[in-house]
Amino acid sequence: MLLVIMGAQGTGKGTVSGILCDELGIMQLSTGDIFRKNIKEKTRLGIEADKYISQGQLVPDEITVPMVAEALDSDEAKAGVILDGFPRTTEQAKQLDEMLKQRNKEIDMVINLISPREEIIDRMITRRVCPNCKATFNIKINKPKVEGICDKCGTKLTQREDDKSEEAINNRLEIYDTQTAPVLKYYEEKGIVQNEEITISKNRLADKAAKHIIEMLKDVEK
């Protein structure tokens, strides 16, 4: 099974992905994790990627795409994968299609999470993350069992620097909207996009969205 999860920052991608991974027995692959792994292991691609990341620049496709390909070919990915943070552009989406075609695979579903802008901003300001296992919590709607401590590994939770300012959050959301609109259109034309609304106002949070996605995937497999 191969899924792609999309959605602006703060829509709950991490939480939804975590539930799907646990329930479906698949792994989450984020470009950030892939970069960190290759940089830590000092692979050829990792060394090249670090040159861009250390200068605050985007890693070019000729480095990113081969890294994703290697991750998809790993033993851990055999049971299934949910891609987070890739593809970010239409060109990457086309390269992913070609990559999968060579492996006789295809994307089962592109999950697009949608939330009201005001809820996204509030959710990001109240978001806390685990620097160790990357688990995500929220001090309003998804509190850890022990305040300030990760449920999964016991590490002290932190707040991302770019989650502290409403202005910075709005800038990131505008960039996301501009960059991903063409990618969503590309997948919508293929008929594989599943829009999932996540909103407090309708009492529809990540757990309900994930449950609906799982039910849909089971129907597809029948």
Spatial distance between the Cα atoms of 148 and 58, rounded to a whole number of angstroms? 32
Question: Which is the catalytic residue, given 36, 88, 105, 204?
Answer: 88
127 is catalytic: yes
Spatial distance between the Cα atoms of 85 and 6, rounded to a whole number of angstroms? 7
Structure tokens at 191: 């008929």
| 148 residue type, one letter | G
| Residue 7 dihedral angles phi and psi, to the nearest 5° | 145, 150
E-state strands within 89-149: 109-114, 127-129, 136-138
172 is catalytic: yes
In contact, 28 and 7? CB cutoff 8 Å? no
Spatial distance between the Cα atoms of 42 and 205, rounded to a whole number of angstroms? 39
Spatial distance between the Cα atoms of 37 and 46, rounded to a whole number of angstroms? 8
Question: Which is the catalytic residue, given 40, 94, 160, 202?
Answer: 160
Spatial distance between the Cα atoms of 50 and 57, rounded to a whole number of angstroms? 10
Question: Which is the catalytic residue, given 105, 172, 204, 208?
Answer: 172
160 is catalytic: yes
- Which residues are known catalytic residues? 13, 88, 127, 160, 172
